[in-house]
Homo-oligomer: A and B are copies of this chain.
């Protein structure tokens, strides 16, 4: 399995452990000439409220040589997908899944923290080894 597939599977399993139902793998958003493919779509039944929360998750491994260059792509992808969801599935909330080692290093740099805050990146911190969600972060 490629590193990308390993991280994908880890986040999928981690979400299932927290009672999310994976509904789309990937979630396709058609825009005429092209499609966006967000890594996962999931939903959760909240019993008390009888209300269904729907989310989309873009899974990042941050394995590129330059983390800052990868961060440009990740930010742009997140914001394009967020806009695409706003147009087609406004009820669905987008999260970026970030491995814990990257979250505890690169995402603690002042500039990264500013960008996460300023562009309102919602983040799921995951442990790829134990296949667990460690934190849900909503700036």
Contacts and interface: CB of A to CB of B under 8 A. Distances in A.
Interface in A37-93: 68, 71-80, 83-84, 87
Contact of A34 (B33, B68, B118): B68
Interface stretch (A1-9, A14-22, A106-114): A106-114
A119 B120 CA distance: 13
Which applies to chain A's interface (DSSP): helix, strand, loop or mixed?
helix
Nearest to A36: B68
A84 B72 CA distance: 12
B80 A75 contact: yes
For the complex of A and B, the 8 pairs showing the least CB-CB separation, nearest first, are A76-B76, A75-B76, A72-B76, A72-B77, A73-B73, A31-B111, A34-B68, A72-B73
